[in-house]
Amino acid sequence: MLREILDTFLKFLRTFGAMVLFFVRVFLHSPAVFFSRFPLVIKQVYNAGALSIVIIMVSGLFVGGVLALQAFANLERFNAEDTTGIFAGFALIKEIGPVITALLFAGRAGTALASEIGLMKATDQLSAMEMMAVDPVRYVVIPRFLGGVISMPLLTAVFTTIGLAGAHVVAVEWLGVDVGAYWQQLQQALDMEDVLEGIYKSIVFGIIASLLAVWEGYNAIPTAAGVGRATTRTVVITAIAVLIFDFMITAAVSLR
Amino acid sequence: MQQTRTMELGTGLFVLLGIGALFFLTTQTTGRNDFDADETFAVQARFENIGSLKTRAPVSMSGVTIGRVTDIQFDPVSLEAVVTFVIDSKYDQIPDDSDASILTAGLLGSQYIGLQPGGSSFFLEQGSEILYTQSAIVLENIIGKFLVGGRPEGDEE
Amino acid sequence: MTWSRKLSDYLIEVHDVDFARGDRSIFKNLSLTIGRGDVTAVMGPSGTGKTTLLQLITRQLVPDKGRIIVDGVDIASLSQSELYKLRQRFGMLFQNGALLTDMSVFENVAFPLREHTELSERLIRHVVLTKLHAVGLRGAAYLMPGQLSGGMSRRVALARAMVMDPDILIYDEPFVGLDPISMGVIAKLIRQMNDALDLTSIVVSHDVREISEVSDFCYVIADGAVAASGSPDELNADTSALVEQFMHGLADGPVAFHYDAPDYEEQLLGKARGN
């Protein structure tokens, strides 16, 4: 019994160690790869970012709208409908924008990254590169990682902006909040620091989501079932990691 | 080749859109960066109580933002708050006996510094100190005084 | 003197190699040599670690014990960059070709050139089309890998494996899943390439007939060690039970038809009797 627990623990420790070493390797080579293989990076910005833009925009619009609805319904009771903008803006910029974008990214781009790399492994493409004396980490993994890292803050910004527009449409056009009040209240309540908090979060989430996706793909068991499992794990692990980090960043910022 | 073009076009659009959104968020959703001057001069003022004034709060005169708070310190000797703020250099004819008060935007809004012009023929310049100051009105104090029948602090003049 | 002469005859030597995956031992004291300029076949029943052997020779895996010497150098002693330099002397053909799926046939063959040389675009084009012509697929240069049949993929992969003019070509199960015509084409190419370009070839396979036709020397691997070796004719004439079973495709023999199981009768009747 004790032996089994110890074994499980050691196995966990080994996986974790391998993960850290992999991450260090990815980080160390990233700057060089960014410059020497720029076209590959651009291609991955397209795959991870440009192809996610529609889902991000549609989601942003509706999330912004629903925030405005909820905020209005509650604020109305205190005759404070004018502050709907503050509520929607704060929520979108600091929390919901970065977090939902990261979750959508995990589902749309993260799974694509993991399954693509896993499939390349299953069809011996990674070994073939090794045999052609090309490091697959540098050729396959890092450009995808960088593509994700670059895309996430941009996607988050688009999500948040569209979200604000969605909230604007619901609050101003539909519920009749004064347009001046909506934006002025929002602008007065928000500091640059709040916007920066959202941007920092999106950068951190971009690194986490991209790293976990390429890790799962690179370490997938090279069979159809293994790749499928890696894809599922990518979404689950990324979601958990993003939410945990979100809590930690928010705590660090607000308890400062 | 067609594929490459779609990709380049899509990526370009996406990045532009993203940068545009970032630009929008950083400039249009925050209210505090409407003050933007290349050359400024720093002025100090001492307050008994600054309330919840923060750095980067605007400094305004006649309702126009002319500067921004850059630093807030506590002087352990005089037991006062020392607020440093910068004013756009093009406003170089503000009388040096002007007085500074800490005001609140709206009933529960954020606080800022309001300058009232004095009558001196000398002007504020780099390193000047404003001597006449009025502290922030702390809501609890007013309510407290009101309840015991006293007059609120800020009503004297 | 005789010793050094002998050394140069063998391009690859595997000495007393042990290798295990987890708890499962794959090789135990495996030793074999690959002759310079030969087509050497490595055969054996499924699951005997033939692919693993290739991975050991190219140091994608490291043995638990023993030495592997390529052209007089112990490959365990190589640094990463020396290893990559050595690997450029290898060309490897993977089971299903392992073409990079996001680029065209032309780009796949050009890939090693673009990565490792500074050749001009015109020269690259020339080299790539020459190699594609050699495998008969010059006309398919601008197709994507997804549009190729299994046999064509492998021929493209062969062109890619040859593009850096390697000394050693390694084929991992080149015949699996191919129709008889494609099999014949690949077999012919293996022999032709080897002789025309002065290569040393290693072919891992269990297609006895095809491999007998093209190889100079064969190894049969079973139970983690070399079970038999010799020219194809010698092996065909071999009368030891295992080689005979393997070469002639008999269902039962030393490699049992039945997976280890409790006694048949007892298992079937055991439950009824128990009741």
Question: Would you list the DSSP string of C41-81?
Answer: EEE-STTS-HHHHHHHHTTSS--SEEEEEETTEEGGG--HH
Is the Cβ pair B21, A160 closer than 8 Å?
yes
- Model confidence at C2, in pLDDT bands (50, 70, 90)? very low
Interchain contact, B15 vs A158, CB within 8 Å: no
Cβ within 8 Å, pair A161-B109: no
Angle (nearest 5°) at CA C89 between C84 and C92: 90
Residues of chain A contacting B19 with CB distance shorter than 8 Å: 154, 157
Residue B122: pLDDT over 50: yes
* pLDDT, tens digit, 9 for 90 and up, residues A1-24: 788 899 899 988 988 899 999 999
CB contact residues (below 8 A), chain B span 54-113, against chain A: 56, 105, 109-110
Q: Do A130 and C88 lie within an 8 Å CB cutoff?
A: no
Does the pLDDT at position C260 exceed 50? yes
- Report d(CA C153, CA C183) in Å as an integer: 13
Architecture of domain C2-89+166-232: 3-Layer(aba) Sandwich (3.40)
Residue B149 — pLDDT band, cuts 50, 70, 90? low
Per DSSP, what are the bridge partners of residue C93?
C171
Q: What ipTM does this complex have?
A: 0.79
Domain boundaries, chain C: 2-89+166-232
Chain A residues within 8 A (CB-CB) of chain C? 119-120, 123-125, 127-134
What contacts C213, CB < 8 A, 6 or more positions away? C187, C232
Please state the φ and ψ torsions of residue C125, each to the nearest 5 degrees: -60, -45
Please, are residues A206 and A152 in contact by the beta-carbon 8 Å criterion?
Answer: yes
Summary mean pLDDT of chain C: 83
B16 contact A CB<8A? no
Structure tokens at C244: 């005979």
Q: How confident is the model at residue A117 (pLDDT cuts 50, 70, 90)?
A: very high
How far apart, in whole angstroms, are the C-alpha atoms of residue A69 and residue A50?
30
> Does B19 lie at the interface with A, CB-CB under 8 angstroms?
yes
The beta-carbon neighbor of A127 closest among C88, C98, C111 is C98
Cβ of C92 within 8 Å of Cβ of A128? The answer is yes
With CB atoms and an 8 Å threshold, state whether A131 touches C112: no
Report how far residue C68's alpha carbon sits from residue C78's, in angstroms, rounded to the nearest whole number.
12
Query: What band does C87 get if pLDDT is binned at 50, 70 and 90?
Result: confident
Would you place residue C273 in the very low, low, confident or very high pLDDT band (cuts 50, 70, 90)? low
Q: List the single residue in A with minimal CA-CA distance to C86.
A: A133
Mean pLDDT across A34-52: 91
Query: How does pLDDT run across C131-140, given as a tens digit for each residue?
Result: 899 888 898 8
Comparing alpha-carbon positions, the chain A residue that sits nearest to C115 is A134
pLDDT tens, A231-245?
A: 999 999 999 999 999
Amino acid C271: pLDDT:
60
When pLDDT is cut at 50, 70 and 90, the band that residue C275 belongs to is very low
Give the CA radius of gyration of chain C. 21
Residues of C in contact with A119 (CB under 8 A): 101
Kindly list the partner chains of chain B, i.e. chains with 3 or more CB atom pairs below 8 Å.
Answer: A
Chain C CB contacts of A124 under 8 Å are 94-96, 98
Q: In the structure encoding, which two tokens stand for residue C223, read together? A: 């139970």
At residue A95's C-alpha, the angle toward residues A89 and A97, to 5°, is: 75
User: d(Cα C168, Cα C40) in Å, to the nearest integer?
Assistant: 11
Chains in contact with C, counting 3 or more C-beta pairs less than 8 Å apart as contact:
A
